[in-house]
Amino acid sequence: MTNPQVLRRWLAAGAVGAVAAGAGVIAAVTANAAAAGCSARYTVTSQWSGGFTADVSVTNLGDALNGWSLTWSFGAGQTVNQGWNATITQSGAAVTAANASWNGGLATNGTTTFGFNGSNSGSTNPVPTSFALNGVACTGTAAPTTAPTTAPTTAPTIAPTTAPTTPPTANPTATFTNPIKRNGPDPWLQYHNGFYYLATTTWNSTITMRRSATLAGLANATDQVIFNLSSRPNGCCNMWAPEFHLLNGRWYFYYTAGQNVSDYNPTQRLHVLESAGTDPMGPYTFKADLGNDWSLDASVLQVNGNLYLMATYGGDGAGQSNFIQRMSNPWTLSGSRVRFISPTLSWERQTAPVAEGPEPLYHNGKVMVVYSGSACWGPDYKLGLVTLTGTDPMNPSHWTKKSTPVFERNDANSVYAPGHNGFFKSPDGTEDWIVYHANSSASGGCDMNRSTRAQKFTWNADGTPNFGTPARLGTALTAPSGE
């Protein structure tokens, strides 16, 4: 039987751990380099000592393309380590990014975006200044055409009329479209003191967060480095599955990270940071390692004033499962952990037996946990539900599992592998929302190509959530109430 510890994101990603020390630096720059027919934008979204993350978008201003490649050259020895939404190759300073299998079509005025983690030596990381799309240099304008000359005519004189009085109209309803972060797996989103705060997996040595006063604004917000892991001996690299919880007046930031070794996945462990105050963006200090077993996807459950750590473990032959353990405080585990969600149903075992990503959900006195089932590197990753029907969260028999998934792929909307979710309230507190990641292709993997999405959900008569159908990317959705 395949070791369940390898049945996770690393199979599809091939990520490279970053080794670096020093404060994170944010840079955002645009390159509108030269060419009739296209424009390109290159943005450094996060930067740390020795490494960086960049997003690149290219707009086709010429005829529609069926297959594209964008080329540029680095000027300071930068190298690409891991890319997403494109196949990226490098020869010396020259870089070529070619379309992936699902995004080769590029219409006139169409835009495609891809990104990568890179490394740089020294303190400089200059932005490339020239790009070419399919060999044509990008200038940001299309080739001009000459319009025919038409003799001017004299416009007829029309007698003025009295303008009709138009009754005032109500302000238009605010909307947003998914994704709210294009490359944002394992999202966690909270609304706090007038802002939305979003953190996602970085797969490098930094923890980043972005914020916006509106949900729509998150899509273009800048990721800010809130903590650098490079000095942590047991968790320097490959950061996954961040969550931040406000407990006793401090934010506790839970995450998964491991060592800088080629086979890093067996070294992945749970860790927690503590904020200095009530700002979700910190500053943070390292607080504790949470155990010494392969583990991921930590979250916090609160029942009757008690804290419990929920997380995913493997290695015992039963497939990745969700466990629960008491906490004496937000950074200290107490007693032994207990398995309370195992992948026993057929829909939890598609591609591989997996139950992971447990997330608490409370409604009208009901305590529930929503979790992700089946392999994240397949299209059938989806959400399941257990409900605390007894009184003791540490007793597995006090949890009742729903036999069918509560949120799953929708081929008609091109949404695949929706999962690893979180929950948040609208600004006025009247609406419940789910945040999750998904792929736009059935061939998508468990990697940085997964995008962050959000949508409102309602409640069934029995008090369980009704998440509906995952919305197609680009669909205009009404913004949360109170924006």
Whether the CB-CB separation of 252 and 56 falls below 8 Å is answered with no
Enumerate the active-site residues. 186, 356
* Spatial distance between the Cα atoms of 80 and 53, rounded to a whole number of angstroms: 9
Burial class (CB in 10 A: 0-12, 13-18, 19+), 345: middle
Please, which residues have CB within 8 angstroms of residue 421's CB and are 6 or more apart in sequence? 187, 357, 359, 370, 372, 383, 407, 434, 435, 436
Q: How far apart are CA 378 and CA 352, in angstroms?
A: 9
With vertex at residue 313, the alpha carbon angle to CA 312 and CA 318, rounded to the nearest 5 degrees, is 115
Cα–Cα distances in Å, from 52 out to 125, 205, 238, 255, 392? 9, 10, 13, 20, 46
